[in-house]
Amino acid sequence: MSLFITSEGSRVTDSEILGQFELPQLHQMYMQMALQQAEMAARSDEVPVGAVIVREGSIIAAAHNQREMLRDPTAHAEMIAITQAAEAVGGWRLEDCILYVTLEPCPMCAGAILQARIPVVVFGALDPKAGAVSSLFEMLNDTRLNHRCEVVPGVLQDRCGQILTEFFRQRRAEGKK
């Protein structure tokens, strides 16, 4: 039996959840949590991207971009969340997890998703400049690779895109890169 936590904070079992929630509602609930991470990134003057990883109805990792703070070009939300999740499960194979991320993963993050064997990736906004899931490349479904993922695009797409648009509009107004 798995336990799920609803957006109101109440706990329900997987059998209860099947009767009360449909999969799109669950995706929206977890994407809201990824958006909370993105908002934390924006408050830290980081590009507002957030990610959560769910296993058996529980969030085992939650992260946001930290490239500026860590001075690390690889400190994307997905990379940090994957590392946290691997620590939580005690191994690198995340075969029973779902990754939720507010922005379509880049090539680096898509590679890490494949290496971690994450079977499902749910994302919000498309990334026309660096998206490696559907915009520029389809890395997660490339038949030449040894692992592929189910991809669920566009969950809370408008809000996920809006937080990025607002962030970069403010940066330009302040004369920042």
pLDDT digits (tens, 9 = 90+) for 90-133: 999 999 999 999 999 999 999 999 999 999 999 999 999 999 99
56 is a catalytic site residue: no
pLDDT-derived band at 1 (thresholds 50, 70, 90) equals very low
Could you list the residues known to form a binding site for Zn(2+), using ranges.
76, 106, 109
| Binding positions | 76, 106, 109
pLDDT above 70 covers a percentage of the chain that reads 88
- Rounded to the nearest 5 percent, the helix, strand and coil shares of the chain are 40, 20, 40
- pLDDT, residue 20, reads 54
Residue count of the chain, please give it: 177
What pLDDT is attached to residue 15? 47
- Collect contacts of 59-64 with beta carbons under 8 A, ≥24 apart: 59/5, 59/30, 59/33, 60/84, 60/85, 60/88, 60/89, 60/97, 61/85, 61/88, 62/33, 62/34, 62/37, 63/37, 64/37, 64/38, 64/40
Query: How does pLDDT run across 19-40, given as a tens digit for each residue?
Result: 455 788 999 999 999 999 999 9
Active-site position among 78, 87, 166, 174: 78
Integer Cα distance of 148 and 142 in angstroms: 7
CATH: 3.30.70.3270, 3.40.50.12780, 3.40.140.10, 3.10.20.30. Which one for 3-173?
Answer: 3.40.140.10
